[in-house]
Amino acid sequence: MLRVCDKLREVDEKGRRYGLARAETGYLRALVDAMADTDRLAEVELLKTLCDVNVEKGRLGKDVGKFNTALALYLAAMVRCYHEEQADGIEHRYHYTERLLQGVSSKGKKQPTEDKGTTTPAKVAEKFQALDKRRATRGNTDSLLIGYAQVMVEAIVNDNSMLETEAIKSLGDVYLKRGTETGDTRNLTRATALYNRALARCHNVHGTVVIVHRLLHTAKIRQDITRTRNKRPTRLQQQQDVRRRMGHFSPFSAAPSSDRTTSQIDDDIVHDIVQPGSGDESSQCLVRVLRGGRGTGQAGSDCLLH
């Protein structure tokens, strides 16, 4: 629990500084991370915290809908909870919220509830239309994660498994896109975790096929990235081997030994320039200059100028 508290401390501070709306956004973002990292303890704690935010909103605004949202999320947190102390805290909050709800006038504000019987794939797709368009472009993926998380929470509150499944799958799609674009396999791991979570919530054949296809595609992307990374050290090693081999043929290693005299080196150069029997006048002149030493002076210069 201390680890979870440390993780939430920054979000709590922002909430106190900027208000409930900012706090709710921060908790939603942290909830997505907890689900993607399969951190069940943190996930339950964040659901409970989102409940607390809704309770406070309901208390301040005498809003029956907010209290009902909190109660539904407390139940969802209880279902996911396996930590006894944490479960006791959630149960205590649930009963406290019930008492607050009973004390609110029936004239309090109510949120419209979704008719679960009319949920269809077309309606679900319509719900995601705007977010999916944003996902298709290069933009801020954090805002996308928060948007899909809001839909997921709405689905949990209304006990709409089809909408919840699609929201979780869409969260996985965001991480898949991140991993594909950056080559960071941690994002692919998160995508896989979310797809598996969506698969567990899915109750129709078509949805199952789509999610399984996503899982296979994610595995292939990971394999491609891993294969590319494994090739890089080999290529680097080959480049180092080439440089090492070239070092054996360095100009310095091929240079003449220092025990040879300058005149001997000059004679070798002269031999390469003019082969015996050459009658070319300019070549013979160059030979005389080279063999005559550095002190040929004006005579050598005149010879080369002719």
Split the chain (306 residues) into runs of 10 and give each run's mean pLDDT: 73 77 90 94 94 94 93 95 91 94 68 58 83 78 92 94 95 95 95 97 93 97 90 65 55 45 48 52 54 51 50
| pLDDT at residue 262, as a whole number | 46
97 and 128: one domain?
Answer: no
CA dihedral angle for residue 137, residue 142, residue 144, residue 150, rounded to 10 degrees = 180
- Predicted pLDDT at 18: 75
Residue 270 sits in which domain range?
A: 262-305
* Domain-located, residue 86: yes
Of 47, 73, 103, which marks where a domain is finished?
Answer: 103
User: Is residue 90 located within the same domain as residue 14?
Assistant: yes
Residue 206: inside a domain: yes
Query: Does 139 reside within a domain?
Result: yes
Q: Are residues 145 and 94 in the same domain?
A: no
pLDDT at 107: 54
In a domain, 235, yes or no: no
114 belongs to a structural domain: no
> How many domains does the chain fold into?
3
In a shared domain, residues 286 and 213: no
Is 67 inside any structural domain? yes
| 241 domain residue, yes or no | no
* The last residue of a domain, from among 76, 103, 130: 103
Say if residue 146 is in the same domain as residue 213. yes
The answer to whether position 205 is within a domain reads yes
